[in-house]
Chain A
Amino acid sequence: MNAKIIYKIVAFEDEKEIFSEKLTFEMLKTIVSNSPDSFDQDPLYRLTAQHPSASIREEIAYKDKISEEVCEILSKDNSISVLRNLTRSSGFKEFASFEILERLIELDYECAENIASNIESYQQVDVSKLAEFIFQQEDPRVLLSLANCYSAPKRILKQLANHDDYSISNAAKETLNR
């Protein structure tokens, strides 16, 4: 059975409770959005990462200082917007496994673009293996992101330099020449 989680705003006057009301999802979103991007917030972020409102989860996925547990929860999210934010988070880059990246790359082109642009940032995966997997994608936008990535292995960039689409081949050549 799912745990019943209630979010409330409580006001105190001289330490005496004078007001208590459940927060609407929009109020909670405001709080999460304005909360500092800090590991100190982890207890709150672990709970809100499971909130039924995707707009709240999007706010959490936007943070860089999120724990492995929060990354794990959000990487299974059914909202593409949450996943797109998550793939930009440095917290995610620290903890994401190859299996998670593989799934997200195949799921959504924007997630794939985000990952392809920063392949060197993923600390748990082999850059060559990741680049090889992205290279196999058909979407030219994803390949263009990879072609623009200085950390992409030269072997892959050389193959992209021969791509039929000249925006991709030109980008790969420029990256190779820098």
Chain B
Amino acid sequence: MSSEYIYKLVVEQNGKQVVTKVLTYKMVGEITSSLEDNEGNNDFFEVAAHHPASSVREYVASKDNISTNVMETLSGDKSIAVLRNLVNTSCFRDNATEEQIEKLVKLDIEIAESIANYISSFENADANKLAVLLSESNDPSVLATLAGNSDTPKKILKVLSTHSEPEIASQAKNSLDY
């Protein structure tokens, strides 16, 4: 059985609790969104990453300075919107394993596009291997993003430059000339 999380506003006057109020998921979302993206707020992000509302988790997943713990929690999220935000964070690029990245590439086109866009920025993944995986996609938007990235290995760009889809071929040629 999954845990039940409750967030409350507690007001203390001279050390005595005078108001307690359960916060709605919208309020927790707004708070998460307005919190500065820095390591000092990681304790809060750690708790909010478990919030049942995906909208709250989406806000956490849009922060760059989340801890690896939070990243691990969110990388197993069942909401695509959360995962889409997560792959764009610097924390994910710095810490995600090759296995995690590959799993997400296969899960969602928009995620695959984000990863194609940052192909050489993943600290723990081989850019060549990722590029091969992405180049096997049937989706032209993924291939066009990969082709449009000048960091994509030349070998892959050369193959993409002969693609039957003119946009992909044109992007790849431009990247090769870059």
Q: Which residues of A contact B (CB under 8 A)?
A: 3-15, 18-21, 23, 26-27, 30-31, 34-35, 43-44, 47
Which residues in chain B, 4-20, are within 8 Å of chain A measured between CB atoms?
Answer: 4-15, 18-19
Cross-chain pairs A/B with CB under 8 angstroms, 25 sampled: A3-B13, A5-B13, A7-B9, A8-B11, A8-B12, A9-B8, A9-B9, A10-B8, A10-B10, A11-B8, A11-B47, A12-B8, A13-B4, A20-B10, A21-B43, A23-B9, A26-B34, A30-B34, A31-B9, A31-B23, A34-B24, A34-B27, A35-B21, A43-B19, A47-B19
Identity of the chain B residue whose Cβ is nearest the Cβ of A43 in the assembled complex: B19
- A27-B31 in contact (CB<8A): yes
Which residues in chain B, 37-90, are within 8 Å of chain A measured between CB atoms?
Answer: 43-44, 47, 50
- A3-B6 in contact (CB<8A): no
**CA A43 to CA B24, docked complex, whole Å:** 18
**CA A93 to CA B43, docked complex, whole Å:** 44
Known contacts A13-B5, A30-B27; A44/B11 CB under 8 A: yes
- A6-B12 in contact (CB<8A): yes
Contact with A along B112-145 (1 / 0, CB 8 A): 0000000000000000000000000000000000
Residues of B within 8 A of A21 (CB): 43-44
B35 contacts the other chain (CB 8 A): yes
